[in-house]
Structure 1
């Protein structure tokens, strides 16, 4: 008995020594390579700082950039991260050397992107990502967006009915209101919800998604990032217990997808041909591409994972894509609308210019898909808002898959590269002395090549956000409806400047404004 205990004790001590040695190796990685940066603490690095909800970690990057320069390193848990705010390096990593940087920095609770059957575009990498992107791209063509335009329009009209009532009662927190709108659009186009549940206590989907985004999970995420095995254990629990918010959402989406698939199968058996797709479930079930990579290298890659390459999405993959569009499209579009609203509110002359453009283009006529493209000044306003307040900047990261050199800096395989998007997009050496000013006119004559690698609100290169055009369409439809009827004005609770919070995304705490009817 004593001998067994002695062996177990020895193994435990050796295990502890091994773990401590590994984390000390991680923690001292950048020091050993002579790279400057915040050192943080053993085991956690700077993770506790980055996860601070009250002071967004993505803004902390800017402070460190001022202190350490445009290239520096830190450790966050068991990960080594190089921070970059040099546009030339950004373009090199995202575009020119994409084959060396095709992986993404993942949530520690996410599954293995090479093995997970539920993998989606955000987490997939390599040939799996390439296949998913190729097939899914069909669903974001002009024709597909035109098909769902009427659905977006219905949500916007319903939103306006609620605004008429709420505007009469004083200030409105437009961030909360826009979340109702974006959730309604997503529920309709991503999971086929037919009835309207905007501003309703019965909106179960919105409650679930707010649970996923809401609250501080700082210590949970810290533990999972430091000890990945804990993250995977939590993931296993998440997909076994339906009361946990992410799994509730997954089951809700899976139910909608499988019911639609069974309905379509029955109709085909009865000789009923499918009509025009009205939402992403239809589009993803219909999606097929002859451009899928069937090269020997791709076939071998899939074979290693006991998978076959197909030109269509499996049912699990359809669920995965719908899941990520619910998560990815809810918060970001609501935030974009909130930032635009704030900037128009505190810049009434810009707001007037947008209203004049809307009046000239639409007048009393209905909003049409083709005409949205003519709102050039509104395009400039949205671009400028996203320059000053980039969304989900944490997604502007890549994993180095093969050791390489970028602009003289060697980056080893396994190292993550995080772009300091806020610094790049507000850099006066790139944007001029008025870089901190809201100036939509800068985009009217902008040479896009001039800002290569410096404007990345939706990412850059092959992994640029696939839903970008849908997000902009949602914004333009709703802003057109609002600005035709109302003007944004400040109220007693309007925060100037905005108070920003968050960790994974950077969000205003609130955006209180007053909606004043234009005919008064």
Structure 2
């Protein structure tokens, strides 16, 4: 009996020592940072929706400097906001940092059948990226412009109805309707507008809602339970209210319907013609037998890519484009509108440019490229409110060194984007100000310094960047030609920011005053 007790005590001490060893990882390496709590480290702070983690990073950077370490359970994370190190990780040493920071419950990116472009890595990522890239070329965007503009005009009709009598509206909710409508029509085969009646909206919004801390903490503290938890919660969506699985099922059904339609058309001798949406594009690359790649020898150069996708991968790509295309663009539009309403001189200058360059009812693709000041406004908004901060993280896949820091395999590098975008050494003493004019001499100076990464940096820069720019510019043009944005009693100044996966304003209540100068 004594031997059993001794074995239990020894095992307990061994496990405790193992976790304490992980918890003190950065301290033992002489790197400062917040220690958090035993076992969980800083995981709770990184899951706090009321105090967005990317604003918490900014506070920690003020205290510990531009390089410091944190832990989230067994995950070891080096936080950086030094531009030279950012460029080192994201560009110069991409071959050593080609994976993303992922929680164990997000699945194994090398084995998950539904893995998407965001989570995949190595050869598999390269194949998915190569197949997806034509969707976001200038030629493709020209074809999509008409659909995006239809959605913009539909939103204007809803705005006009809701603002009758001078009533303010929460533009965040309107922009969410717009972006979901756009991505539904260009990615999911949706044939007409479903604004303010789209059944998928509640599920998509829920993905960005309050995180299930217990699940994330369990996966972070005991990584081997991650795949089990994922399988358990994905298989019982109605019980555990998993919004992601509801979306995946709807996407899978849309893909199945399109496959059936294409087979029927083929039997009837109907030519499939040009791809109509993302599903068509991916089905053109479909194969029932795609060998899963081995990433051990991955380098970004010299890769021969197989241009084929499995049906599960098609579902995965449509899912991630739906999620990414919904949230970030809606947030950027919300922040832009708030900044324009609180900086009327900027708004007036922008309206003058839009009136001058876009005199006709329809706004052409080429006219959008002439709106230089609008470009400055959008870029400055993304500097002030970087949206995809959680994507600006990489996993070390091979032990290496960045600057003076030895990085072991498996360590995650997380960029403190909010600090980087407000660094006075890069942006000047007016870094805290909203100043679109700073972009009038081009942006190369900021990109070269590694100081501007709203869409990431390097080979894994956001593939949908140009589509997001086009959506935002097109909708803002139509709104500002007809209305002037003004603050109201409900406007939060400053904005209250919330969220853990992305940083969102709680609301963006504004008045849209019909213009009397047109």
Give the structure-2-normalised TM-score. 0.92
- Hey, what's the Cα distance between the residues in 2 that align with 1:300 and 1:394? 25
Deviations 1:147-205 (A, max 9, x none): 222221111111110000111251111111111111111111121112322112xx211
1:509 to 474, 488, 506: 506
For 1:235, the equivalent position in structure 2 comes to 230
Task: Give 1:13 deviation, angstroms.
Answer: 4.8
Tell me whether 1:41 sits opposite 2:37 in the alignment.
yes
**SS where residue 104 of structure 2 aligns?**
coil
Gaps of 5+ in 2: 299-303
**SS where residue 309 of structure 2 aligns?**
coil
For 1:129, the equivalent position in structure 2 comes to 125
- Hey, what's the Cα distance between the residues in 1 that align with 2:207 and 2:415? 25
Contact 1:24 1:42 in 2 (8 A): yes
**SS where residue 402 of structure 1 aligns?**
coil
Query: Structure 2 vs 1, CA of residues 338 and 100 (structure 1 numbering), >3 Å: closer, same or farther?
Result: same
2:108 to 105, 112, 129: 112
For 1:264, the equivalent position in structure 2 comes to 262
Tell me whether 1:473 sits opposite 2:470 in the alignment.
yes
Gaps of 5+ in 1: 289-293, 303-307
- Hey, what's the Cα distance between the residues in 2 that align with 1:14 and 1:194? 64
Contact 2:23 2:71 in 1 (8 A): yes
For 1:215, the equivalent position in structure 2 comes to 210
Task: Give 1:300 deviation, angstroms.
Answer: 8.8
Alignment of 1:301-450 (within 5 A): 310-450=306-446
**SS where residue 89 of structure 2 aligns?**
helix
**SS where residue 200 of structure 2 aligns?**
helix
Deviations 1:128-161 (A, max 9, x none): 1111111111111112222222221111111110
Deviations 1:33-52 (A, max 9, x none): 11111111111111112222
Task: Give 1:310 deviation, angstroms.
Answer: 3.4
Query: Structure 2 vs 1, CA of residues 440 and 299 (structure 1 numbering), >3 Å: closer, same or farther?
Result: closer
1:185 to 170, 182, 186: 182
- Hey, what's the Cα distance between the residues in 2 that align with 1:433 and 1:12? 60
Deviations 1:382-408 (A, max 9, x none): 000000100020110000111111112
Task: Give 1:211 deviation, angstroms.
Answer: 2.1
Task: Give 1:450 deviation, angstroms.
Answer: 4.3
Task: Give 1:409 deviation, angstroms.
Answer: 1.4
2:480 to 479, 483, 491: 483
- Hey, what's the Cα distance between the residues in 2 that align with 1:127 and 1:348? 49
For 2:495, the equivalent position in structure 1 comes to 498
Query: Structure 2 vs 1, CA of residues 242 and 59 (structure 1 numbering), >3 Å: closer, same or farther?
Result: closer
For 2:92, the equivalent position in structure 1 comes to 96
- Hey, what's the Cα distance between the residues in 2 that align with 1:377 and 1:447? 13
Deviations 1:263-299 (A, max 9, x none): 11222233221122221111222359xxxxx9xx969
For 2:301, the equivalent position in structure 1 comes to none
Task: Give 1:242 deviation, angstroms.
Answer: 4.5
- Hey, what's the Cα distance between the residues in 1 that align with 2:354 and 2:142? 20
Number of equivalences: 503
Deviations 1:412-448 (A, max 9, x none): 1111000010001001111001101111111110351
Query: Structure 2 vs 1, CA of residues 45 and 490 (structure 1 numbering), >3 Å: closer, same or farther?
Result: same
- Hey, what's the Cα distance between the residues in 2 that align with 1:480 and 1:136? 28
- Hey, what's the Cα distance between the residues in 2 that align with 1:209 and 1:367? 30
Tell me whether 1:205 sits opposite 2:200 in the alignment.
yes
Contact 2:210 2:499 in 1 (8 A): no
Query: Structure 2 vs 1, CA of residues 191 and 364 (structure 1 numbering), >3 Å: closer, same or farther?
Result: same
Give the structure-1-normalised TM-score. 0.92
**SS where residue 441 of structure 2 aligns?**
coil
RMSD across aligned positions (CA) = 2.3
For 1:58, the equivalent position in structure 2 comes to 54
For 1:455, the equivalent position in structure 2 comes to 452
- Hey, what's the Cα distance between the residues in 2 that align with 1:108 and 1:500? 27
- Hey, what's the Cα distance between the residues in 2 that align with 1:18 and 1:229? 18
Query: Structure 2 vs 1, CA of residues 221 and 94 (structure 1 numbering), >3 Å: closer, same or farther?
Result: same
Alignment of 1:230-309 (within 5 A): 230-243=225-238, 244-287=242-285
Contact 1:430 1:451 in 2 (8 A): no
- Hey, what's the Cα distance between the residues in 2 that align with 1:403 and 1:159? 50
- Hey, what's the Cα distance between the residues in 2 that align with 1:195 and 1:300? 45
- Hey, what's the Cα distance between the residues in 2 that align with 1:357 and 1:309? 44
- Hey, what's the Cα distance between the residues in 2 that align with 1:516 and 1:460? 39
Query: Structure 2 vs 1, CA of residues 287 and 476 (structure 1 numbering), >3 Å: closer, same or farther?
Result: farther
Query: Structure 2 vs 1, CA of residues 12 and 127 (structure 1 numbering), >3 Å: closer, same or farther?
Result: farther
